[in-house]
């Protein structure tokens, strides 16, 4: 996990300064409208893309900001959003 992650406030830092917050799944849906199975899927199921995905990271050893990056899960490095489009 030696790759660099770009924190929006602090700039590129060692990945170990951060905590992984999961794939970006968008704002939480209203649990009232979902069946237990659908809610469980929202909480626990992930796309697990082989390629570029958008995900959340928390700068726990630094400024304490939650933010998203695009990461290539095959090469395990941060990529720009342009690479994300190319990957689609």
Of 49, 56, 73, 83, the residue at the interface with other proteins (CB under 8 A) is 56
User: Cβ neighbours of residue 32 under 8 Å, at least 6 residues apart?
Assistant: none
Radius of gyration for the alpha carbons in the chain, expressed in angstroms and rounded: 15
14 contacts other proteins (rule: CB under 8 A): yes
81 contacts other proteins (rule: CB under 8 A): no
Of 63, 73, 83, 87, the residue at the interface with other proteins (CB under 8 A) is 63
Of 61, 74, 81, 85, the residue at the interface with other proteins (CB under 8 A) is 61
Q: Quick one: which of 28, 25, 27, 6 has its CA closest to 15?
A: 6
């Amino acid at each position: 996990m030696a790759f660099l992650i770009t924190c929006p406030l602090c700039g590129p830092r060692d990945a170990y300064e951060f905590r992984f917050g999961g794939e970006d799944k968008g704002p939480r849906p209203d649990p009232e409208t979902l069946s237990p199975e659908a809610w469980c899927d929202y909480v626990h199921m992930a796309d697990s893309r082989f390629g570029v995905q958008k995900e959340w990271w928390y700068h726990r050893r630094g400024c304490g900001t939650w933010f998203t990056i695009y990461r290539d899960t095959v090469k395990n490095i941060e990529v720009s959003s342009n690479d994300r489009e190319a990957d689609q």
